[in-house]
Amino acid sequence: MKVERVDLIVVRMSLVSPFETSNTRHSELEKLILKVYTPDGTAYSECVAGSLPLYSPETIGTSKDILRNNILPLLKGKDIRGPDEYLKVVAPIKGHPMAKAAMENALWILQAIKDGESLAMKIGGEKKSIASGVSIGIQEHTEELIEMIDSYLDKGYQRIKIKIKPENDIRVLEEVRKHFPHISLMVDANNAYSLLDIAILKVMDNYDLLMIEQPLAYDDLVDHATLGTQVKTPICLDESIASPSSARSAIALNACQIINIKQGRVGGLLEAKKVYDIAVRFNKGIWCGGMLETGIGRAVNLAFASLQDFNYPSDISASARYWERDIIDTEFMLNTDGTIDVPTGPGLGVEINEKILNRFVLGRETILL
């Protein structure tokens, strides 16, 4: 595949309801979309970086910069045989997994289209549908949270994840468990605690949580390992797993029992498959995380989540949970058994609506290779 041109398109889109975590609150999100041109065809892909470095060090700005000045120049004039070769070509560039993943995803998609296969097939995914969970942001009033949980349970989601932060944790869990004593429930702290909070974290053992996701700092495997000796609730890592090698470190240190794998966070589908393989080999729990992607990125996540050995519900919810208007026309629906079907058409298997996409554009930069 010869990449001849890439458009870096920044869009702003409105969420159906504001999303609050321990460190951000958004009712709109900016997204970086790539349109990649080759002589064989074009493909869209999505970069999962946010506009601010609050989830990881990367941003839309750094991703554009690294793509324009470092990744794309390395592809110039080369016939890249596939994601494997692509990773070797960009290997000298340290870090920036989200920027690398955005381009890698496009190459997978182009390859899948060329071979007339779905992306899921291309990466070896076998599941026809995936177990779906929903991630709910921090709510100002717990009654609202209870109502939201109730309505998501009604729709059939297989597990509920709620965001927590200090002051918004035990009190909330107490209420939620009072209303829903037996549901599959987990929490995500997005780094909001430290080992100084060990007393609070221990109290969370009383709420029969499926897991606690990323309680401590994004780069602190050692403290997560220490925490694991003090609490019974399984620890799941998200932000801390930035690559296959950090997955190996986390496992060697016994820093987690479960890994939330986000292909964008670890540098693309090939790297994500390595994390998956490592986790499977060491009997760790695994599920596919999300970054409030547009339909483009969510189609990639669905393909990834179709790998056989994912053993917890993933953060891949129905389209209706995310955008007022998505930039794909295909709607992902929640089946009554709480699953979502994996697209089967060639490539992403979804229809991108360029008219709608153009309506959301904040800026577009064309790079000719």
Closest to 247 (Cα-Cα) out of 263, 234, 233 = 263
Task: Give me the half-sphere count of Cα atoms (radius 13 Å) on the Cβ side of residue 36.
Answer: 26
From CA 280, how far away is CA 273, in angstroms rounded? 10
Spatial neighbors of 102 by CB under 8 A, at least 6 apart, are: 32, 34, 45, 46, 47, 48, 63, 67, 264
**Nearest distance from C-beta of residue 17 to ligand OSB, angstroms:** 12
Cβ 214 to Mg ion shortest distance, Å: 5
Residue nearer to ligand OSB on the CB measure, 111 or 319: 319
Q: What does 334 bind: ligand OSB, Mg ion, none (CB cut-off 5 to 8 Å by kind)?
A: none
Compare residues 168 and 317 and give the one whose CB is closer to ligand OSB. Answer: 317
> Out of 233, 317, 330, 339, which residue is the one contacting ligand OSB (CB under 6 A)?
317
Position 188 contacts ligand OSB (CB under 6 A): yes
DSSP state of 294: -
Q: Output the smallest distance, CB 92 to ligand OSB, in A.
A: 28
Q: Does 46 bind ligand OSB (CB under 6 A)?
A: no
Q: What are phi and psi of 99, to 5 degrees?
A: -65, -45
Q: Which amino acid, one-letter code, is at 125? A: G
* Contacting range for ligand OSB; rule: CB under 6 A; set: 63-71, 251-259, 290-298, 304-312: 290-298
Q: How far is the CB of 243 from ligand OSB (least distance, A)?
A: 17
**From 165, 262, 273, 274, the catalytic residue:** 262
Q: Kindly tell me which residue out of 8, 75, 291, 342 binds ligand OSB, with binding defined by CB under 6 A.
A: 291
Instruction: Identify which of 153, 131, 189 has the alpha carbon closest to the alpha carbon of residue 312.
Output: 131
Binding-site ranges for Mg ion (CB under 5 A): 188, 213, 238
Active site residue 31: no
The reply to whether 191 sits near ligand OSB by the rule CB under 6 A is no
Dist CA 119 CA 110 (whole Å): 9
Instruction: Map residue 267 onto helix, strand or coil.
Output: coil
Cβ proximity to Mg ion, 211 vs 269, nearer residue: 211
Least distance in angstroms from the C-beta of 190 to Mg ion: 6
What are the helix (H) ranges across 115-205?
Answer: 119-123, 142-155, 170-179, 198-203
Phi–psi pair at 35, nearest 5 degrees: -115, 115
Site for ligand OSB in 229-248 (CB under 6 A): 238
Site string for ligand OSB, 107-146 (x = CB under 6 A): ----------------------------x-----------
Residues with Cβ < 8 Å from 53, sequence gap 6 or more?
59, 62
Beta carbon nearer to ligand OSB, 70 or 246: 246
Give how many residues touch ligand OSB by CB under 6 A.
11
Residue 178 is which amino acid? K
**Residue nearest to ligand OSB according to CB distances in the complex:** 290
Residues 6+ apart with CB under 8 A from 152: 134, 136, 160
Q: Is 338 in the site for ligand OSB (CB under 6 A)?
A: no
Q: Which does 317 bind (CB under 5 to 8 A by kind): ligand OSB, Mg ion, none?
A: ligand OSB
* 305 closest CA partner among 281, 339, 282: 339
In angstroms, rounded to a whole number, what is the distance separating the alpha carbons of residues 264 and 300?
Answer: 10
Catalytic choice (163, 273, 274, 284): 163
Q: Minimal CA–CA distance to 102: which of 46, 44, 164, 51?
A: 46
Point out which residues pair with 286 in neighbouring strands: 259
User: Can 262 be counted among the known catalytic residues?
Assistant: yes
Q: Which of 244, 290, 295, 343 binds ligand OSB (CB under 6 A)?
A: 290
Catalytic sites, residue numbers? 163, 262
Q: Which parts of this chain interact with ligand OSB (CB under 6 A)?
A: 55, 135, 188, 190, 238, 289-292, 315, 317
